Structure 1
Amino acid sequence: MKSSVLYVLKELLVALEEGVDVAAIASASPAIIVPETLDPINLLGVLRRARGSFVIVTNEFGVVQGLVTPLDVLEAHCG
């Protein structure tokens, strides 16, 4: 899966070694950030648009609280 964390890290490391502008790579696939107050139904919609990737969860002050994947939501609903 091209949107996995390992794929992105690999691409960034290769870019750094080759002297490529990392900011250009980062702006090509911006992070998806959601508030921790987002309800699970709307979170599913956001995850669907993220195409199987993960989203970053922040609190009301913008501090990162963690990551959520589609599997996390499935496990929370189904046990």
Structure 2
Amino acid sequence: TDAGEMKLMRCEECPSDMDEALYERLYDWRAAQATLLGQPDFCVFTEKTLMAIAEAVPSTEGELVVIAGVGNRKLSRF
């Protein structure tokens, strides 16, 4: 594993445990948020962050905030 994989807490070549339905809902939500803000989608969350959320399926804010690309600022914003 490389540093990027460690940061995202996932292996790029490993089979994905991603919840596809959750990913699609997150993808649509991100597009709606970006439209409201007048910003590109990636300014809300990157696709890698959406994938990491869909893989981890966090059930608390504490679990969500430790996912790379989320952090306290985005957690409070969205």
Identify whether the pair has TM-score above 0.5, normalized to the shorter chain: no
Structure 1 or 2: more strand by fraction: 1
Which is greater in Rg? Answer: 1
Structure 1 or 2: more helix by fraction: 2
Which structure is richer in relative contact order (CA contacts within 8 A, separation 6 or more)? 2
Bin of the TM-score, shorter chain as denominator length: under 0.3
Under a length normalisation based on structure 1, what TM-score does the superposition of the two structures give?
0.26
